[in-house]
Structure 1
């Protein structure tokens, strides 16, 4: 009788103990585990602080894990996953050809690199929002969910008087809490309607006025920054001075809050004879690559590579002798 009471008591206590253990395990899991902690990355507040201090912002494009590591290790402020990868990396003749799914693949590749602090901005490619605002918002959500490192979206916007749809789309994104960097001036996705890749706001003063109005409107509806591309220096400086958000220039002079360049242009990653006027070519990696590959080919043909003892692995003589004996004995 006493043994039965003892057994019931033990089972009861064991059940209670298990409950406590499971409860504590659950509390520990939900309170202290959480998502994997990522290395420090600049926030929009960090960028705005630097902007308020008058320190120029550096922004560079990246299209995969390796190029992202270069940008991060250089401690650049911002990293742009631009749809320009269509032409610089994938062989398309225009950014408008780039499929959204293919672009997403590169976004994920870039974001896997966490070697530095660069704030990641992701383009919204052509076709990802033009069919309708609801479709655009859905695609924006998908892009932001690809990685927690995607901090902001960038949307190309035409002149205010002609592109009220995109302005409304950007407004809807901002109202939903999406951080949006606008892009005005020369917008490559709209190059055909602009008459080609041309400077904007340099011929007709009303075109410059329209650029100014567009920039002001985008700030008003919630954009935290805007890119000014291929805009006369004086116009870009004027617009920058009258905005309270950072401007990032590309072919817009040094009066903007920061600069952005396409990585393949500035490093000479591909044989391009005619670069835009605003590009400063810091290196010509393609020449180094071609020279190295030619040397490799010559070394292989001359049997200079691989060099025995330098690029090869060893095997003990007795092991090798036994290997040969086995082959010969079994007549393999």
Structure 2
């Protein structure tokens, strides 16, 4: 019966520019912990839309981060703090349409949670409800201290979210949303032992309150490795050396999608910007010199009798 069906209904030739991909089971936090416990590095990459998410999914990244870095890397804003929640949600939904197994984490954008715990909880819930594929939110947390105690507001919000069953990935070290308070995009914890200790203690507190994973950004590799070895949850490094439980990079940086310099910690695996401009120039040249489209390759044929009948009808009119 199956063979007969295939003969009667052969695969359709594709004349359009996109097609769906088969679905697959999405990784869970338990799957990520299995990798972590077996000392298998966890891979994570940002994605901003359906196309970049599809690339990450087909490459079989363990995790996809819909980061607010898309403000600068995809939308042309000058800072990650410029993007609004509604605009950010649009991109989250686009990423979630890509089929694949990656566990999806989404940022809590600047301005969407700082005003109150209630507002932060509401934002987190709204992000989780965008798609069943959203597995967790990521929250940037500072290392603010007062009288020897950690006092950062985001710690309290992270705890509130965890107690409500919302998976939270903490983010310490360089927190881009606080770039002004940090006086720029700088390595954290390398100037004094007090600073590095504050990062360590913040990471410990995030683990205590229930965060399932912690991002360490722009932290000296010795500090990051020490923190990782003293935690029982996986750490994801970006500019934090190879002693973390996994790595994350901004996709536009590692693929060279934009011109200009990338951060020191980025390894560029391609130069999409250069090759894309070259390909577009080739296209422009082919069009202006009438080499594209080639009717014998890219054109569609018409039956001779249809063509003759068309000409007769036109001339009779």
- The normalised TM-score by structure 2 is 0.90
Q: Give the equivalent residue in structure 1 for 2:266.
A: 279
Q: 1:239, 1:306 → 2: CA distance?
A: 58
Partner in structure 1 of residue 5 of structure 2: none
Matched, 1:103 2:88: yes
| Cα displacement (A) at 1:210 | 0.5
Paired with 2:23 and 2:212, the residues of 1 have a C-alpha distance of 24
Specify the alignment match of 1:42 in structure 2.
27
- Runs of 4+ aligned residues of structure 1 deviating over 3 Å after TM superposition are none
Post-superposition offset of 1:324: 2.2
5 Å matches for 1:202-213?
202-213=190-201
Is 2:129 aligned against 1:145?
Answer: yes
Look up the SS of the partner of 1:170 in the other structure. Answer: helix
2:209 paired with 1:224 = no
Work out which of the residue numbers 85, 101, 122 in structure 1 matches 2:106.
122
Structure 2 equivalent of residue 261 of structure 1: 249
Using the TM superposition, give the Cα deviation of residue 288 of structure 1 relative to its aligned residue in structure 2, in angstroms: 1.2
Computed over aligned residues only, the root mean square deviation of the Cα atoms, in angstroms, reads 1.3
Q: Give the whole-Å Cα distance in 2 for the aligned partners of 1:169 and 1:321.
A: 74
User: What is the total number of aligned residue pairs between the two structures?
Assistant: 292
In structure 2, the gaps of 5 or more residues are 1-21
Q: Could you tell me which of 281, 298, 308 is aligned with 1:294?
A: 281
TM-fit CA distance, 1:38: 5.9
Q: 1:160–1:167: 8 Å Cα contact kept in structure 2?
A: no
Q: Which residues of structure 1 form unaligned runs of 5+?
A: 1-36
Structure 2: how far apart are the matches of 1:38 and 1:309?
36
Counterpart of 2:154 in structure 1 is: 166
Q: Which residue of 2 aligns with 1:14?
A: none
| Bigger Rg, structure 1 or 2 | 1
2:74 corresponding residue in structure 1: 89
**Inter-partner Cα distance in structure 2 for 1:103 and 1:236:** 30
